Structure 1
Amino acid sequence: MWQHLYDPIGNAYVSALLAAIPIIFFLASLTLLKLKGLNAALLSLGLSVVVSIALFGMPFEKIASAAFFGILSGMWPIGWIVLMAVWLYKIAVKSGKFEVIRGSIASISNDQRVQVILIAFCFGAFLEGAAGFGVPIAICAALLVELGFKPLKAAMLCLVANAASGAYGAIGIPVLVGAQQSGVPLDALALMMIAIIQLSTLFVPALLIVILDGMRGLRETWPILLLIGVLFSASQSLILYLLGPELVDVIPPVLSMGALALFMQYWTPRRIYREEGAPEISDKRWSLPEVIRAWSPFYILTAVILTWSLPAFRALFAAGGPLAFTTIPFAMPALHLQIEELPPIATAARALPAMWNLNLISASGTAILISALLTTAFSSSITLRQSAGQLRQAFLELWKPLTMICLIMAVAYIANFSGASSTMGLALAESGQVFPLFSPVIGWLGVFITGSVVNNNTLFAHLQAVTAQQIGTSQALLVAANTSGGVMAKLISPQSIAIAAAAVNQVGKESEIMRITLKYSLGLLVYVCIWTLILSFLL
């Protein structure tokens, strides 16, 4: 049994700085050194191995097993989900449905500012609530490119839009895990989520318009920004308060899409905005049956994903369920229950599990696979052979970003199992009464490292609750801050960047997407930090 050592240098801040070397290098390599994502990930992985051995004294066989665990997790479920989502998109393109989809969107508005609210913000939020794991970025970024947006800008807009929905993820799991790990009552955590994140959600549509068309765009589109911002944020808050987090990213996006489509029948901006060089969309009008058929891949995807999310369906695959045999567990050698997490990260010394589960049917990627097969079967314009060809093409385009995701997951798992992530969190917790200012930074680091708000709350929700108790502030506030700060890192987490680059066919330009998105991630993080500190004084 190997135990975590959270302050190997004898100075919490120096230990944390050294533990952060792989993360700092990865950020610098993309933003300053302008390395390709795959090269940056490889070098960061090497640094992670060196730091784990030299700083924490982690045995090499445990480092190797943690890295392998991360690679497997990058392949399944993340890589599987991304590959299937891009395949579904390619089927829709190959079958000719996108010409009709473009036309149906143009019938709402030919203005690209309206289109980015409809697709990146509303539809992206719905896909986040239904599937999560990069699906909204992959699908919506590709849709925007088809509508004439420049690829890198399309990727960045979808990443920024995810700040409004990423806190609740697929069926509210991030918030549920935060409550479970911290011991904070779910209703108390929900109230604090409303207090912190919903204020920024109100202004995300306006931020998207400013990015796209500056202050002039803001002046020209303020009616729809007011409508969608208030309706989306208010309905999210109401559902979170009354029903809990499960439907927060399902019902509000649907309401917002419907309201926007209806509003645009009676109002139009005085100037139609189109990106320079964007092709004009044909003014041909399509019949309702044609539009319904064109959007069918996404109806099918929604229905299948929501079925996969139902408690009754998930129970089929739980331990003792009739389909439990379709989940194949694999205990990582030299790692499973062979590393102890210590207080204050855990309430008592706890052996860390390291089980990789190959859930063949219950995985979200399998749900998307079934959606793709059903879309092919119901489309007369694409054969099964052509559909298989699109899958092959998707794999050829994605193998590099998927490899990058696997390598970054290896870095994340080494950081988690070596205790490096906890070392950084504990150093920030040393700040005492001003800790609420830095509390969201822990969440930001957690998501940047792991790529997941769920994993971030698994890692740091308990630490936030313990620190809150020590400094005499609200535990629910700091757990909500951990979640909210984490969402702002989703904009630039390596996994999100890799998915966005692949979706817009810009593999190798991850550093450019990182550079143009980083300032928005940091700006939103600063807001969460300052607002959390103010709330800590008021509560």
Structure 2
Amino acid sequence: MYQPDLSPVADSLALSSLVAALPLLTLFLLLGGLRLKAHWAGLAALAVSVAVAVLAYGMPLRYALLSGTEGAAFGLMPIMWIVLAALWVYRLTVVSGWFEDLRRAFGLVSDDPRVQALIIAFCFGALLEALAGFGAPVAITGVMLIAVGFSPVRAAVTVLVANTAPVAFGAIGTPIITAGSLTRIPYEEIGAYVGRQTPLLALFVPLLLVALVDGVRGIRQTWPVALVCGAVFALAQFVSANYVSVELTDIIASLLALAAVVAFLRVWKPRESARVRDALRTAAERERGEGAEAPGRQDAANAPLGARRVGMAFLPYLVVIAVFSVAKLWTPVKEALAASDVEVPWPWLDGQILTATGEPSGTTLYVLPWLSSPGSLLLLCGVVVALCYRTGFGTAVRAFRDMVVQLRWAMLTVASVLALAYVMNLSGQTITIGTWIAGTGAAFAFLSPILGWLGTAVTGSDTSANALFATLQQTAAGRAGLDPSLLVAANTSGGVVGKMISPQNLTIAATAVGLVGREAVLFRKAVAWSVLLLLAVCVLVYLQAHVLAWMLP
């Protein structure tokens, strides 16, 4: 059996952490600095992680390679399965001719792209995050922003930044429930703490979104609706997380924020909408002229948009909401789907890996959610949509095949990045970095969110970040005399701002908007916002630990 040594390099935790960070440094340097394509950067970082695992940590080569294969399998199923199915649903709207009606239907609510960013990327994206999670919100809202005229880069960056505040309570509260199950802290308590952190992000993210669309002028001209959107979402998230339901928090917050925006637009309209639309159109033409691939589009007849046409345009997303609501909120269906999961002890690896504490690692048990996966539910949604749109069987199959071809490099990227994450986790590299950061005493309150940010940036999942670091946060809090619930919550809140720079999420966003192979462009545009929001979370948690204790439950 293999058990990781947390200080394998010169018996020094600091030096070992520096060596353990080499795969991540390789990944981000190649992606952001040298602008290498994401799949090559991921494969190079994977090779470095295997070398560190074998040469520095003494992990047998066969275990390092097997860890990578399990991670790659997880990257393909369920993660890329979700993305593939989500984009197939979108492709059905294109091949059936309803795509242009979707664009026109959004214009009925508001023809201002800044407001459309709030409605689509923030509100609807939060609802998708609540129901499906993983990459579905980025994939679906990315193509929806393209539908209303956004340029590919701006659409991708907008949905990446928007997919922050809702992440902590995503997939019916899975990240928080996972943290609670690992630490034995009631997840309702962790959720209450998170509900006093992420709402502050939610308050300002809509302002950031309108700035991404139209700069400082966009903030000056649309701050009232952005503030209404953020304030209602933040208040609803706080109230639901603390007094209603952790699981339903994002559903309640997203729907109330959407209703508030629509109601506010009845009494207030933004200025210079035409100017912003023209600027986005020019940017889109310029980007596509530089080689970006525009998603397919068919023009519908210029007939008036009656209730039926609007309903048919939004049909795919109404079906998604209906199917996921039943699957996630109706307990008998939820339990039946979960019971269909197949547990697969990873061959020649399960039972051979111990954690740093000497316990058998549960990571080597691969769970195949063939029916309960959001990807499978999205596939069902696609079948329903194809039937309602009367899309021929051959046309629907060709659309699915085309998506597989389009996503081939994205699949390689996500598989390599998840393989990297599994090698780092099982060999002990990730926990070495975390343990070193956790040894900073009282200052750990400030550094605590960085662990969640790091875990989510590597794995693309706040749930995985909590699986990695929740118990470490709890232990470090006890040693430093800090509130364990606060730091476990900080791990979750830090993770939400790391998702936008995860290579997995970057690849999903790039593929959705037709920027395959240009993940480095998105990384460079998103990383500054990720670090800035992380700093804000770090300061907030530090103040909550030492000054603003009255904010806590």
Conservation of the 8 A alpha-carbon contact between 1:103 and 1:285: no
| Residue of 403, 407, 410 corresponding to 1:398 | 407
TM-score by length of 2: 0.93
CA deviation vs aligned residue, 1:73-98 (integer Å, no higher than 9, x gap): 01110111111001000001221222
Conservation of the 8 A alpha-carbon contact between 1:108 and 1:265: no
SS at match of 1:167: helix
Conservation of the 8 A alpha-carbon contact between 1:436 and 1:529: yes
Q: Which residue of 1 aligns with 2:6?
A: 6
Please state if 1:362 is matched with 2:372.
Answer: yes
Q: Which residue of 1 aligns with 2:467?
A: 458
5+ long unaligned stretches in structure 1: 319-323
Shift of 1:305: 1.6
SS at match of 1:268: coil
Task: Map residues 449-488 of structure 1 onto 2, 5 A cutoff.
Answer: 449-488=458-497
Please state if 1:306 is matched with 2:325.
Answer: yes
Shift of 1:283: 8.9
Task: Map residues 417-496 of structure 1 onto 2, 5 A cutoff.
Answer: 417-496=426-505
Shift of 1:352: 3.6
Distance in 2, Cα, partners of 1:533 & 1:357? 37
Task: Map residues 194-209 of structure 1 onto 2, 5 A cutoff.
Answer: 194-209=195-210
Q: Which amino acid aligns with 1:170?
A: A
Q: Which amino acid aligns with 1:409?
A: L
Shift of 1:186: 2.6
Conservation of the 8 A alpha-carbon contact between 2:105 and 2:313: no
5+ long unaligned stretches in structure 2: 285-298
Please state if 1:328 is matched with 2:353.
Answer: no
Please state if 1:61 is matched with 2:62.
Answer: yes
Q: Which amino acid aligns with 2:350?
A: H
Distance in 2, Cα, partners of 1:352 & 1:252? 34
Shift of 1:275: 4.9
Q: Which amino acid aligns with 1:503?
A: A
Distance in 1, Cα, partners of 2:343 & 2:191? 33
Please state if 1:286 is matched with 2:305.
Answer: yes
* Closer/same/farther in 2, CA of residues 50 and 435 from structure 1, 3 Å limit: same
Conservation of the 8 A alpha-carbon contact between 2:70 and 2:419: yes
Task: Map residues 12-411 of structure 1 onto 2, 5 A cutoff.
Answer: 12-272=13-273, 273-276=276-279, 278=281, 285-310=304-329, 311-318=331-338, 324=339, 326-343=340-357, 349-380=359-390, 382-411=391-420
Distance in 2, Cα, partners of 1:284 & 1:111? 22
Conservation of the 8 A alpha-carbon contact between 2:188 and 2:246: no
- Greater Cα shift, 513-522 or 275-284: 275-284
Shift of 1:67: 0.6
* Closer/same/farther in 2, CA of residues 508 and 462 from structure 1, 3 Å limit: same
SS at match of 2:423: helix
Conservation of the 8 A alpha-carbon contact between 2:341 and 2:369: yes
Distance in 1, Cα, partners of 2:154 & 2:518? 12
Distance in 2, Cα, partners of 1:351 & 1:259? 46
Distance in 2, Cα, partners of 1:352 & 1:373? 35
Q: Which amino acid aligns with 2:318?
A: Y
CA deviation vs aligned residue, 1:399-436 (integer Å, no higher than 9, x gap): 11111100111000001100111000000011111011
SS at match of 2:223: helix
- Greater Cα shift, 497-506 or 4-13: 4-13
Shift of 1:357: 2.4
Shift of 1:361: 1.5
Conservation of the 8 A alpha-carbon contact between 1:71 and 1:406: yes
Conservation of the 8 A alpha-carbon contact between 1:97 and 1:295: no
Distance in 2, Cα, partners of 1:285 & 1:524? 43
SS at match of 1:224: helix
CA deviation vs aligned residue, 1:501-531 (integer Å, no higher than 9, x gap): 1101111101101111110111111111111
Shift of 1:353: 4.4
Task: Map residues 514-533 of structure 1 onto 2, 5 A cutoff.
Answer: 514-533=523-542
Shift of 1:255: 1.8
Q: Which amino acid aligns with 2:4?
A: H
CA deviation vs aligned residue, 1:464-511 (integer Å, no higher than 9, x gap): 011111111111110111001111110010110010011011111011
Q: CA RMSD in A?
A: 1.7
Shift of 1:241: 1.0
Distance in 2, Cα, partners of 1:537 & 1:238? 24
Q: Which residue of 1 aligns with 2:290?
A: none
Distance in 2, Cα, partners of 1:506 & 1:115? 21
Shift of 1:72: 0.7
Conservation of the 8 A alpha-carbon contact between 2:354 and 2:360: yes
Conservation of the 8 A alpha-carbon contact between 1:52 and 1:58: yes
Conservation of the 8 A alpha-carbon contact between 2:191 and 2:246: yes
Distance in 2, Cα, partners of 1:463 & 1:40? 29
Distance in 2, Cα, partners of 1:263 & 1:286? 23
Q: Report how many aligned residue pairs link the two structures.
A: 528
* Closer/same/farther in 2, CA of residues 192 and 329 from structure 1, 3 Å limit: closer
SS at match of 2:351: coil
Conservation of the 8 A alpha-carbon contact between 1:377 and 1:384: no
Conservation of the 8 A alpha-carbon contact between 1:376 and 1:387: yes
Shift of 1:153: 1.2
Distance in 1, Cα, partners of 2:23 & 2:178? 27
Q: Which amino acid aligns with 2:185?
A: V
Shift of 1:285: 4.1
* Closer/same/farther in 2, CA of residues 275 and 249 from structure 1, 3 Å limit: farther
Conservation of the 8 A alpha-carbon contact between 1:439 and 1:481: yes
Conservation of the 8 A alpha-carbon contact between 2:196 and 2:238: no
Distance in 2, Cα, partners of 1:270 & 1:482? 40
Q: Which residue of 2 aligns with 1:321?
A: none
Distance in 2, Cα, partners of 1:201 & 1:258? 16
Distance in 2, Cα, partners of 1:349 & 1:252? 40
Q: What's the % identity of the aligned pairs?
A: 35
Shift of 1:284: 6.5
Distance in 1, Cα, partners of 2:170 & 2:280? 35
Distance in 2, Cα, partners of 1:440 & 1:213? 30
Distance in 2, Cα, partners of 1:146 & 1:49? 42
SS at match of 1:357: strand
TM-score by length of 1: 0.95
Distance in 1, Cα, partners of 2:212 & 2:341? 44
Distance in 2, Cα, partners of 1:285 & 1:108? 15
Distance in 1, Cα, partners of 2:361 & 2:164? 34
Distance in 1, Cα, partners of 2:18 & 2:363? 27
- Greater Cα shift, 242-251 or 470-479: 242-251
Shift of 1:225: 1.4
- Greater Cα shift, 109-118 or 247-256: 247-256
Q: Which amino acid aligns with 2:522?
A: I
